[in-house]
Amino acid sequence: MSAYVKQKSDGAVLHSCSSQTIANPDHLKSCQDFVTSRGMSLSDFIIADADDDVVSGWIKTQDDAAMTYADRRKKSYPPIGDQLDALWKGGDDAAAMKVIIDKVKSDNPK
């Protein structure tokens, strides 16, 4: 289980505590302290427990939505070392890398 702080207005997860912190019986208080120490009102937030996978999913979805077009495209390319290695080897390796790069470009058009 994870304790979390979620904004009521847009559902954004602002803070979470791992399951190790949950062993502390006062774990929700640490989430409340997170909110109040930033001068925010507790009434604007949901502070509760949820399964670790659920909270991780919320955060991943939130992070993915915040990614720009350039971030998504850059993340999709193979590591530069692999690209250079394929160019150096040439032939089938270079052709295979071109297919991969062309797919990234078609999946993430400018």
Question: Model pTM?
Answer: 0.51
34-61 pLDDT, tens digit per residue, is 888 888 888 888 888 887 788 888 888 8
Half-sphere exposure of 19 (CA within 13 A, CB side): 8
Question: In which residue are the tokens 């505590």 written?
Answer: 17
Exposure string for 56-87, b = 16+ CB within 10 A, e = fewer: eebeeeeeeeeeeeeeebeeeeeeeeebeebe
DSSP string, 40-53: --GGGEEEEEE-HH
* Residues 9-18: tens digit of each pLDDT: 888 888 887 6
